[in-house]
Amino acid sequence: MAAFLAVTAVVPKPGRSFVASMPLPNRLVLSLAMRLAGTRPPDAAIRRGVASRVDPETADRIVAEFSPESVRLYRDAPRGGRFPERRGYLSTSQDAGLPSGLQQRFARNLDPSWHESVDSGHLPMLEAPDALARRIERFLTNGPG
Q: What is the CATH number of the domain that holds 41?
A: 3.40.50.1820
Domain count, the chain: 1
CB 7 within 8 Å of CB 90: yes
Query: Which pLDDT score is estimated for 143?
Result: 54
Domain range spanning residue 80?
3-142
Query: Which pLDDT score is estimated for 79?
Result: 83
Q: What pLDDT, in 10s, does the model give residues 49-61?
A: 999 999 999 999 9
φ/ψ (deg, to 5) at 35: -65, -40
Q: Which helix (H) or strand (E) segment is 91 a member of? A: strand 86-92
Query: Which pLDDT score is estimated for 82?
Result: 86
User: Quick one: average pLDDT of 4-24?
Assistant: 95
Q: Tell me the whole-structure pTM to 2 decimals.
A: 0.91
d(CA 46, CA 48): 6
User: Quick one: average pLDDT of 81-108?
Assistant: 94
Query: Which pLDDT score is estimated for 1?
Result: 87
